[in-house]
Amino acid sequence: MSREEYRALPRAAESFDREVAIRLMGDCGLRAHEVLDIESRHISRMSDGLGRDHSGDQ
């Protein structure tokens, strides 16, 4: 699968939940059965939007 094909997958998702599942598998390397165990409380967006926690930066 090319990068462009991967980028198109989340945009073609039928729902937000499916988009998130696709992104968790593609961006985080989770397997399908692992995605099924994820709850919204397990996910947080970092301050820079890139997954880096800068809360301790000065």
Q: Is residue 48 a part of any domain in this protein?
A: no
- The structure tokens 């593609």 sit at 26
Q: Is residue 23 a part of any domain in this protein?
A: yes
**Residue 45 Rama label (left phi>0; alpha psi -120 to 50; beta):** beta
Q: Is residue 28 a part of any domain in this protein?
A: yes
Structure tokens at 37: 């165990």
**Number of separate domains in the chain:** 1
Q: Is residue 13 a part of any domain in this protein?
A: yes
Q: Is residue 58 a part of any domain in this protein?
A: no
Average pLDDT in the chain: 81
> What backbone phi and psi angles, to 5 degrees, belong to 30?
-75, 145
The per-residue pLDDT for range 30-53, each reduced to its tens digit, is: 999 999 998 888 877 766 656 555
Model-level pTM?
Answer: 0.64
50, 44 Cβ separation under 8 angstroms: no
Per-residue pLDDT at 6: 87
- Identify the domain containing residue 35 by its residue range: 3-40
